[in-house]
Amino acid sequence: MELSDQDIINFMISNIPDDAIFHKNPERYIQRRKETEKWLYQSFHALGGTPATIHPIYMTLGASSYIESTGHYNARHEFPLSLFPKSVVSFTYPDSYVSRLLAEKPNEYFNPKFHGKVFTMSELGRLLEDPSVHNEAWRSEKRKYDFFIEAQIWDVQAILKTKAGQVARI
């Protein structure tokens, strides 16, 4: 998100040419993404997080069959959560963009316990153990994007310090 809007559009056209959500209205998507990052930053900071950057690095907690099914990503890098100080990692369910959108425009899939909320490392257990996050009612093609927890890493240094090729499951 540090790129100019036009550079983001050029990147998306070159790297993800068939992304219908983005290409339908790129300017609106970029605006919403920037608003989402501002919300993430402010929420995480209010929870005691100490972000070292204003733009997080987005990851998933574990593998995401939904993300892998899109075909946009051909590599996976896994890092142990212990690699990161608790003060620089936040989480949303599902991804931050969708979580915020569900909270702003509640529908039948809206879960007020999780959508529109940012979680810290100390709250992760509650998220992982809740049966409303992991239940059969949500398992459908239409809802498959909900089956991952997004992790936002607010400091790139821990990633840059890892040895090339180091892989460990979160």
Query: What would the pLDDT profile of 9-50 be if each residue is shown by its tens digit?
Result: 888 888 777 777 777 888 888 999 999 999 999 999 999 999
Q: Which long-range contacts (CB under 8 A, 24 or more apart) does 72-76 make?
A: 72/15, 72/16, 72/19
Q: How far is CA 85 from CA 45, 51, 60, in A?
A: 14, 10, 17
More confident residue, 124 or 1: 124
Q: Residue 113: left (phi > 0), alpha (psi -120 to 50), or beta?
A: alpha
Average pLDDT, the chain: 83
Does residue 164 surpass a pLDDT of 60?
A: no
More confident residue, 137 or 77: 77
Q: What is the DSSP letter of 142?
A: G
Closest CA to 169 of 82, 69, 75, 72: 82
8 Å CB contact between 23 and 8:
no
Rounded to the nearest 5 percent, the helix, strand and coil shares of the chain are 45, 10, 45
Based on DSSP, count helices (H) and strands (E) in the chain, helices before strands: 7, 4
Q: Residue 116: left (phi > 0), alpha (psi -120 to 50), or beta?
A: left
CA 101/CA 115 separation, integer angstroms:
8
CA 110/CA 116 separation, integer angstroms:
9
Confidence of residue 117 (pLDDT cuts 50, 70, 90): very high
